[in-house]
Amino acid sequence: MPTFCRHNRLIQNCPICSREQAIELRPIVTSSAPRTGQPRPSTSPPRRARPAATPRAGGGGGLTVRRVARGSEDGYRHSLVVGLKSSVDARRLAEEIAFADHRLRVLEHGPPGLYAEVADTGADLEERTWLAFMIAYLGPLEAEDPFAEIARVRTSWASGESPDLEGVITGLRTAHDPARGSRTLEAYRTWAGRAGSQAAAFTGEAGWTPERRFARAFERLALPGLHRDARFDLLVSLGRLGVYGLRAASLALGGVNDVTVGAKRAFGIGDPLLLERRASDLAVACGIPLEALDLALHNWQRGARATIGLGADSSAEPEVADRVQTALGL
């Protein structure tokens, strides 16, 4: 009986599954008819060359072309990251994993800048939540004062006013699109208003586990203009800063974003369920929370580190870095 793989091919014809299961690829069968030396004439009209795409002014929705830096193949292989063939790529991923884990520790034990206000249990819960949303939506800058622009434009939740975002400078993971103006912020206020408050919207049912609360809030926060990265980082921040009981049980991979693309590269597969399983295996082997892989894969795929509020001089704990490198066989 022929056996089909998850890619709907005969397993011996699939370059992915045959490699994973150590099955020799079946040679491609070609026609035995002799080839002619003359090319066949084309009956279709010649194609017109497409004009080169150019980004739109203002940065909203423009085309961005970025070349991903890849290390050359040097024989590196590891079952946790079957998509990697270069120890340079693996070492860079290990560095980003260790840094992302470090950021979660900082948020829990010594949050910097405006994150400290979000973590302040003596402040109003609605104001803390609104500030966390503004940080995730605009994104801290990679500058001496990462929170300068957020502090400049911020408004209070009680005022009911959206900030004036004309000319605002945003961080690397921002969800703000100047073409949208304040519509995403207004959609967020409407979303919270339907639940009665931000606290009620994020808390959900009292009996929910932190993992279920995270998943439900992530799903419900699919607002116009609020992309996956901003939603995920918002919920991670609210959980790590002690605002709500939130903990990620998956990376919520999917769509076109650096985290999902990076996961497909690292784990050598595109199926969402297998991506999540391999991400969980990697997190367990490295001894880190699963949600740390969000920022790690984002930075690794981009080839540039976004510190998301920590600053360029922040670095991972040496013992964590060593543990991650050992897990990846480096």
Q: Inform me whether the pLDDT recorded for 216 exceeds 90.
A: yes
Task: Spell out the domain ranges in the chain.
Answer: 85-330
- Per-residue pLDDT at 20: 59
SS3 content of the chain, % helix, strand, coil (to 5): 45, 0, 55
Mean pLDDT rounded to a whole number for the chain: 87
Q: State the average pLDDT over residues 303-330.
A: 94
Q: What is the DSSP letter of 123?
A: S
Q: State the average pLDDT over residues 146-165.
A: 95
63-67, 68-72, 290-294, 311-315, range with the lowest pLDDT: 63-67
- Per-residue pLDDT at 217: 97
Q: State the average pLDDT over residues 82-107.
A: 97
Residue listed under structure tokens 């699963």: 290
What angle (nearest 5°) sits at the alpha carbon of residue 260, between those of residues 173 and 18? 160
The residue among 159, 151, 157 whose CA lies nearest residue 114 is 151
Residue 126 burial class via C-beta count within 10 angstroms: exposed 0-12, middle 13-18, buried 19 and up: middle
Tokens of 48: 């017109």
Q: How confident is the model at residue 73 (pLDDT cuts 50, 70, 90)?
A: confident
State how far the Cα of 94 lies from the Cα of 88, in Å rounded to an integer.
Answer: 10
- Per-residue pLDDT at 313: 87
- Per-residue pLDDT at 3: 65
Return the sign of the alpha-carbon dihedral for residues 272, 273, 274, 280.
positive
- Per-residue pLDDT at 32: 47
Contacts for 280-286 with beta carbons within 8 Å, 24 or more apart?
280/250, 281/80, 282/80, 282/81, 282/327, 285/80, 285/327, 286/97, 286/101, 286/323, 286/324, 286/327, 286/328
Q: What is the DSSP letter of 90?
A: H
What is the greatest pairwise CA distance in the chain? 83
- Per-residue pLDDT at 147: 97
State how far the Cα of 263 lies from the Cα of 97, in Å rounded to an integer.
Answer: 13
Q: How far is residue 145 from each of residues 88, 148, 151, 174, measured CA to CA in Å? A: 32, 6, 10, 16
- Per-residue pLDDT at 71: 74
Q: State the average pLDDT over residues 193-220.
A: 96
Kindly give the interhelix angle for 272-286 and 258-267, rounded to the nearest 10 degrees. Answer: 80
Burial 49-62 (b: 16+ CB within 10 A, else e): eeeeeeeeeeeeee
Tens-place pLDDT, residues 233-256 = 999 999 999 999 999 999 999 999
Run of H or E including 104: helix 87-109
- Per-residue pLDDT at 325: 97
61-75, 107-121, 213-227, 264-278, range with the lowest pLDDT: 61-75
State how far the Cα of 231 lies from the Cα of 82, in Å rounded to an integer.
Answer: 28
Q: Inform me whether the pLDDT recorded for 153 exceeds 80.
A: yes
Tens-place pLDDT, residues 10-56 = 766 776 666 656 555 555 444 444 444 454 554 544 444 443 333 33
Q: Inform me whether the pLDDT recorded for 65 exceeds 80.
A: no
What angle (nearest 5°) sits at the alpha carbon of residue 134, between those of residues 129 and 140? 120
pTM value is 0.79
